[in-house]
A and B are shown apart, each in its own frame.
Chain A
């Protein structure tokens, strides 16, 4: 009994250390955002100030970067979610001998360092746009050329975010009951009808959660973006430049804002996923009970 007590105490200490390590730096950074000294300091805490936040709003580079980040994030959602969905569906239908090769190709971006994805994207699209003459496309005096930081960032980030989305869809598809599809087909539905009226509604929660995942991954990405963005900037690349120059509490203030946004996104993502799990569990329970009751109603064969 005594050894169990020691064990419990050890676990508590270990958990304490682990979570201090995980949260400590972030909390300290949060505190420095509200403290007055120009070198970010949490202790001694002098006076409470929101001065550093005001500094941020006046920072034109950051605001421009933020705007670009949002555009890129939305672009990534528009590209990565449909592609991830298609890739997951193809995975369930692909000719079995090609499946392992297909899997290797589409999953490789997850295992490739982000720097390399960025570099290869830039090199390829530079040549491609030169060869096809799409480097600069002028429409109404505005440049919509494909060789631009925003477009390349969307492409470069999507390379691996598509794979994330595909994995989300695949795990949802694993729970798809083939009987539903067969029932629909037996009742005379065509395959496209099954796709629109059965498969897509079933995948809807996964579409939402993969969209949030795509946006967050895009928003916080640095390794790929720093190459793909070319001469343009996103919030994260501006941030990286500032951190290299030196540390000021304005960065802590920015961190507090970004952490806040990420938190809202992360919590929304989790809540969605949880609710989906709960609904699935409930449905399974109802089905089990119905089955049991149904079995009970059937007279036992003698």
Chain B
């Protein structure tokens, strides 16, 4: 019943907009404006509608709605699905909060809740660190560098961007392992006697996340700062503003859409990262995405995995909305 409604929902919405558009056109009563089909011809109209419809409905909207629906169902063997036991339940969300209940005592599912907040907090931290690392370079590229050097540096930035996420994690593991390059170098220099377990201390994880998404921060920042008129900086300098004033009150407000865009991308990618926590996380560290992964492939509890995925999605949506509110930018500016 509800599934039928879910499937029909997008189509109803499209029909409503279609009707509104038709009405608008009649009211405007402008004979030079043509309808979609008149304009594009039958073949191209069909292509456009089928392609976009398939993407928007079958690939984006319905799978997401289905996942949400699925997360409110109990775990059942295929034969019992749709049977009397297949009812709506909050059990999967309860599990996230309270864990498996033994006896009557109410206990919190501390492992998962802690992992969730750690993921959110650490992702914010990584986002902030990346912003601090990238802002000077973006400013340098956009305002200071000569055209020739800019081209060279841009190429140097783009090349590692195409190296696979897993390989980057692997490269860091070689560097940071107990018998890795950094430990060997530090021991050879006599700085430390015993190798430091960077991976066990989660340093590897944070470095890995920051490293993987560095460039997601650079490019939006660069694009935003590039369009700033040099005269504005000159004017501020002539009026006696110290350098940090110039950045804080001239460059950053101007680059706001770029900052918002970079922060959203980095946050979203680190919160949803799977490779770095799997390969660089210490034995005690719990990132949220591997937990989701384990719900599917170790607990074989798909509805619960869907519930966890939905919780993660909600957190990401919330973050995007918060960024849009704080920076007062629209969605179009973030995804540019």
Binding site for B on A (CB under 8 A): 11, 14-15, 18-19, 21-26, 28-29, 32, 39-43, 82-83, 85-87, 89-90, 93, 95, 97-98, 100-117, 119-121, 123-125, 127, 155, 158-159, 162, 167, 190-192, 195, 216, 220, 222-223, 226-227, 236, 239-240, 243-244, 247, 251-252, 255, 258-259, 262-263, 265-266, 270
A28 to B41 CA separation, bound complex (whole angstroms): 57
Whether B187 is near chain A, meaning CB under 8 Å from some CB there, is no
Chain-A contact segment, one of B49-57, B105-113, B229-237, B245-253: B49-57
Q: Is the CB of B43 within 8 A of A192?
A: yes
Residues of B within 8 A of A222 (CB): 164-166, 274-275
Whether B77 is near chain A, meaning CB under 8 Å from some CB there, is no
Residues of A within 8 A of B70 (CB): 123
Q: Is the CB of A158 within 8 A of B59?
A: yes
A100 to B332 CA separation, bound complex (whole angstroms): 9
8 Å CB contact of B275 from A24, A87, A95, A223: A223
Per CB-CB distance, the 6 closest pairs between chain A and chain B, nearest first, are: A113-B272, A86-B51, A25-B171, A120-B63, A124-B63, A192-B41
* Interface class of chain B by DSSP: helix
Q: A119-B296, A119-B309 are in contact. Are A93 and B52 (CB under 8 A)?
A: no
> Could you tell me which residues of chain B, from 31 to 73, have a CB within 8 Å of some CB in chain A?
36, 39-41, 43-44, 47-48, 51-52, 54-56, 59-64, 66-67, 70
8 Å CB contact of A255 from B17, B55, B171: B171
A29 to B293 CA separation, bound complex (whole angstroms): 28
A83 to B163 CA separation, bound complex (whole angstroms): 26
Binding site for A on B (CB under 8 A): 17, 20-21, 24, 36, 39-41, 43-44, 47-48, 51-52, 54-56, 59-64, 66-67, 70, 133, 136-137, 140, 144, 153, 155-175, 177, 179, 181, 184-185, 211, 214, 264, 268-269, 271-275, 278-279, 289, 292-293, 296, 302, 305-306, 309, 312-313, 316, 320, 331-332, 334-336
8 Å CB contact of B133 from A18, A111, A263: A18
Please name 19 further chain A to chain B contacts, defined as beta carbons within 8 Å, in addition to the given A113-B269, A119-B67, A262-B162, sorted by A numbering: A11-B140, A14-B137, A18-B133, A19-B156, A22-B156, A22-B157, A39-B179, A41-B181, A90-B52, A93-B36, A98-B20, A101-B17, A104-B331, A106-B60, A111-B268, A192-B40, A223-B273, A239-B167, A247-B170
Q: Is the CB of B272 within 8 A of A83?
A: no
Q: Which residue of A lies closest to B39 (CB)?
A: A191
* Interface class of chain A by DSSP: helix
8 Å CB contact of A123 from B166, B271, B302: B302
Q: Is the CB of A105 within 8 A of B56?
A: yes
Q: Is the CB of B137 within 8 A of A111?
A: no
A255 to B162 CA separation, bound complex (whole angstroms): 12
Q: A123-B70, A243-B166, A258-B167 are in contact. Are A115 and B309 (CB under 8 A)?
A: yes
Q: Max chain B CB contacts within 10 Å: which of A18, A39, A85?
A: A18
Q: Is the CB of A43 within 8 A of B184?
A: yes
Measured CB to CB, the closest approach of chain A to B177, in angstroms, equals 7
Q: Is the CB of B66 within 8 A of A124?
A: yes
A239 to B275 CA separation, bound complex (whole angstroms): 11
Q: Max chain A CB contacts within 10 Å: which of B64, B67, B159, B172?
A: B64
A-B contact pairs, 17 of them (CB 8 A): A26-B168, A29-B170, A43-B184, A110-B335, A120-B64, A120-B306, A158-B55, A158-B59, A167-B336, A191-B39, A191-B44, A222-B275, A223-B273, A240-B275, A244-B279, A258-B167, A270-B155
Q: Is the CB of B211 within 8 A of A18?
A: no
